[in-house]
């Protein structure tokens, strides 16, 4: 009996192990990859019959008597990357399962390992290769990969991905968000080829508290223990070799005198990391971020964050942004606005956006979608939040632009929530001791009609406190805003991470009339007058750069399922408030 139980446990643990993605391969842009992007066959499966019918086998009738009630090869096509909602009118509101299928030919080579990599799949995915399940991933905004070295065939292969964007109370995010629930293979799908031993991940940053010392670690994947791995920064005349421990992990620390990265001078160094026969390059900036009292301090100098919040909404066409053009348009607008800072709300954006911020000199607030109410006491919810946080930090921990890891947005002040988020804060510090931890809170004490006191128990676990306030829109009148008094309970920097007002582009009238561009511009004028007087304010990221789709914004002719708080319309048209903020940022920049 005992033997059987052991065997059952062993097989079960194998199944679980097979179901988990492989450790994340980072710096995918500089790896040897084969793109699987393009047109994929898709089956919309609202009643989830695909599991029972085993769509993942991609079966075909062998003789006229066979009954097969699906056929990928005569089913509709969808573009990958891309959400399905904005590709087909009949899928705009669809929440459910879509099965994707891609046939591809592969030539196997000696001493080459193969992985399949997904930039994201919203909101969860199960992946099958040639009819065999590789595993699943939960979370719509972070990458994952599976090793297929032993399962990919010479010649013809087919990949089937079951993608589901149905909202669930215990998921992250939960049931209610003020953004469109775009589903699909929303980012790149790639085959990745690696040597038997390769550099899987590395962390190379300035040591906390130093601008002349680099610390970090390297993790190799595969091969015998105790590999020699080398970090080179040729331009700085640095070459440093360390030996990995039996698990393939090696830490290092060495002196370095480098030009520091900053918004004014976004200096990136070509880095070369080699080990076990693998050699990978990256472009990394070195800067130092810390807080001093209520100041945010970059490279030893206090800096005020002139920011803007953004969703990952594609300009002009709508849907999930994913391309280099999308990223360049959005960040170009942020630069035109006079920003040195962007808040990538409310989930990790595509990696290209963060790498572009590195190159353009834009500081980044990066956020996981722990948004509004969540299943705070559900262990699997916490585990998934930690997984998404770890995947976000693992992917972007070498990006100089990222200075803030945000662990949530407008979560309710409940003991279970504060406990949940304190664990996320601890996880973020454990994964990355060099960056600042933040969250956006809308819980401020209204100690008098126009007095607001920052006082959220979550602040205890944060380095920087984000405050979302909508004086002049959701509360009070624009003309009262400028008189508002702000206090704080904490000797920590505060960022006003949201304020704003809605107006469709081209809707003009009195500044007292809701929804006019004049009303929106007046709210910005009044807010700026108020913000000037907050001594502990370290930055701001008004809500937000561009109009975006939302299932909560239903006012015909004004919203039409769009949140209109953008300074720019979803067609790229600049509203009056854009110029109000731009004037203020230009004044601050001098």
Which letter, b or e, does each residue of 136-158 get, where b requires 16 or more Cβ atoms within 10 Å of its Cβ? bbbbbbbbbbbbbeebbeeeebb
At which residue do the structure tokens 């942020």 appear? 334
Q: Can residue 565 be called a binding residue for ligand GCU (CB under 6 A)? A: yes
Size of site (CB under 6 A) for ligand GCU: 10
Q: 202 vs 578, which CB is nearer to ligand GCU?
A: 578
Q: 173 vs 493, which CB is nearer to ligand GCU?
A: 173
Q: Rule CB under 6 A: which of 35-94 touch ligand GCU?
A: none
How far does Cα 377 stand from its chain's mean position? 24
Nearest to 138 by CA among 179, 114, 98, 173: 173
Selected binder of ligand GCU within 85, 526, 563, 569 (CB under 6 A): 563
Shortest CB 271 distance to ligand GCU, Å: 36
Asked if 494 and 538 touch (Cβ cutoff 8 Å), the reply is yes
Q: 341 vs 543, which CB is nearer to ligand GCU?
A: 543
Shortest CB 369 distance to ligand GCU, Å: 10
DSSP label of 75: S
Q: 216 vs 472, which CB is nearer to ligand GCU?
A: 472
Q: 124 vs 549, which CB is nearer to ligand GCU?
A: 549
Shortest CB 412 distance to ligand GCU, Å: 13
Shortest CB 326 distance to ligand GCU, Å: 20
Q: Which residue is nearest to ligand GCU (CB)?
A: 178
Shortest CB 505 distance to ligand GCU, Å: 16
Laid out side by side, the sheet with 38-45 consists of 77-80, 38-45, 97-106, 155-164, 124-129, 132-138
Selected binder of ligand GCU within 409, 520, 527, 569 (CB under 6 A): 409
Q: How far is CA 585 from CA 55, 181, 338, in A?
A: 54, 33, 5
| 393: three-class secondary structure by DSSP | helix
Q: Can residue 575 be called a binding residue for ligand GCU (CB under 6 A)? A: no
Shortest CB 346 distance to ligand GCU, Å: 6
Selected binder of ligand GCU within 178, 327, 391, 570 (CB under 6 A): 178
Q: Can residue 469 be called a binding residue for ligand GCU (CB under 6 A)? A: no
Q: 285 vs 315, which CB is nearer to ligand GCU?
A: 315
Q: 277 vs 373, which CB is nearer to ligand GCU?
A: 373
Shortest CB 545 distance to ligand GCU, Å: 12
Q: 187 vs 346, which CB is nearer to ligand GCU?
A: 346
Q: 319 vs 466, which CB is nearer to ligand GCU?
A: 466
Q: 56 vs 372, which CB is nearer to ligand GCU?
A: 372
Laid out side by side, the sheet with 289-292 consists of 289-292, 295-298, 301-302
| 460: three-class secondary structure by DSSP | helix
**Three-state DSSP string of 472-502:** CCCECCHHHHCCCEEEECCCCCEEEEECCCC
Nearest to 120 by CA among 182, 37, 185, 168: 185
Nearest-angstrom CA–CA distance, 329 and 542 = 19
Q: How far is CA 61 from CA 51, 129, 158, in A?
A: 18, 20, 17
DSSP label of 531: H
Q: Rule CB under 6 A: which of 276-335 touch ligand GCU?
A: none
Q: Can residue 543 be called a binding residue for ligand GCU (CB under 6 A)? A: yes
Selected binder of ligand GCU within 27, 294, 384, 468 (CB under 6 A): 468
Q: Rule CB under 6 A: which of 426-465 touch ligand GCU?
A: 442
Nearest to 413 by CA among 455, 453, 383: 455
Q: 245 vs 445, which CB is nearer to ligand GCU?
A: 445
Q: Can residue 174 be called a binding residue for ligand GCU (CB under 6 A)? A: no
Helices (H), 217-348: 324-337
| 100: three-class secondary structure by DSSP | strand
Nearest to 58 by CA among 79, 43, 77: 43
Shortest CB 420 distance to ligand GCU, Å: 18
Q: Can residue 367 be called a binding residue for ligand GCU (CB under 6 A)? A: no
Binding site for ligand GCU (CB under 6 A): 178, 346, 409-410, 442, 468, 498, 543, 563, 565
């Amino acid at each position: 009996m005992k033997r059987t139980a052991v065997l059952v446990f062993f097989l079960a643990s194998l199944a679980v192990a097979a179901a988990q993605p492989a450790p994340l391969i980072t710096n995918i842009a500089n790896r040897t990859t084969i793109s699987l992007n393009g047109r994929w066959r898709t089956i919309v499966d609202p009643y989830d019959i695909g599991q029972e019918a085993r769509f993942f086998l991609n079966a075909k009738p062998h003789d006229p008597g066979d009954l097969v009630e699906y056929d990928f090869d005569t089913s509709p096509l969808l573009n990958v990357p891309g959400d399905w909602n904005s590709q087909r009118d009949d899928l705009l509101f669809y929440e459910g399962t879509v099965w994707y299928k891609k046939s591809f030919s592969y030539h196997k080579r000696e001493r080459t390992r193969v992985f399949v990599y997904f930039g994201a799949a919203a909101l969860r995915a199960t992946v099958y290769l040639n009819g065999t399940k590789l595993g699943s991933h939960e979370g719509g905004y972070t990458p994952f990969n599976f090793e297929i070295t032993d399962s990919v065939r010479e010649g013809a292969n087919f990949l089937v991905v079951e993608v589901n964007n149905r909202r669930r109370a215990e998921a992250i995010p939960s049931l209610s968000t003020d953004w469109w629930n775009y589903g699909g293979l929303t980012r790149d799908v790639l085959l990745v080829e690696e040597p038997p031993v390769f550099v899987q991940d590395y962390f190379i940053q300035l040591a906390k508290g130093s601008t002349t010392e680099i610390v970090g670690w390297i993790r190799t994947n595969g091969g015998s223990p105790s590999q020699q791995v080398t970090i080179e920064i040729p331009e700085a005349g640095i070459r440093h070799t360390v030996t990995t421990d039996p698990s393939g992990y090696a830490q290092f620390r060495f002196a370095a005198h480098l030009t520091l990265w900053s918004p004014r001078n976004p200096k990136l160094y070509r880095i070369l990391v080699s080990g076990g026969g693998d050699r990978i390059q990256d472009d990394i900036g070195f800067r130092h971020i810390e807080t001093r009292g209520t100041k945010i301090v970059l490279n030893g100098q206090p800096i005020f964050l002139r920011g803007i919040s953004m969703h990952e909404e594609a300009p002009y066409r709508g849907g999930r942004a994913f391309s280099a053009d999308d990223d360049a348009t959005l960040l170009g607008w942020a630069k035109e606005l006079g920003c040195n800072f962007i808040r990538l709300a409310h989930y990790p954006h595509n990696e290209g956006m963060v790498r572009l911020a590195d190159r353009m000199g834009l500081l980044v607030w990066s956020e996981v979608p722990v948004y509004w109410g969540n299943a705070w006491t559900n262990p699997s919810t916490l585990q998934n939040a930690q997984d998404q946080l770890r995947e976000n930090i693992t992917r972007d921990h070498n990006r100089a632009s990222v200075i803030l890891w945000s662990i949530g947005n407008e979560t309710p002040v409940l003991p279970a929530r504060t406990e949940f988020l304190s664990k996320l804060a601890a996880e973020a510090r454990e994964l990355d001791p060099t960056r600042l931890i933040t969250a956006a809170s809308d819980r401020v004490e209204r100690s008098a009609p126009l007095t607001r006191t920052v006082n959220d128990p979550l602040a205890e676990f944060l380095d920087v406190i984000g405050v979302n306030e909508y004086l002049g829109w959701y509360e009070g009148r624009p003309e009262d805003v400028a008189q508002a008094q702000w206090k704080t309970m904490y000797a920590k920097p505060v960022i006003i991470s949201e304020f704003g007002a809605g107006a469709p582009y081209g809707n003009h009238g009195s500044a007292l009339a809701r929804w006019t561009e004049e009303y929106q511009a007046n709210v910005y004028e009044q807010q700026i007058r108020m913000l000037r007087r907050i001594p502990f304010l370290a930055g701001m990221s008004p809500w937000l750069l561009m109009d975006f789709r939302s299932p909560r914004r239903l006012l015909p002719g004004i919203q039409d399922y769009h949140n209109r708080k953008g300074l720019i319309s979803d067609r790229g048209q600049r509203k009056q408030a854009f110029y109000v903020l731009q004037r203020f940022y230009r004044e601050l920049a001098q």
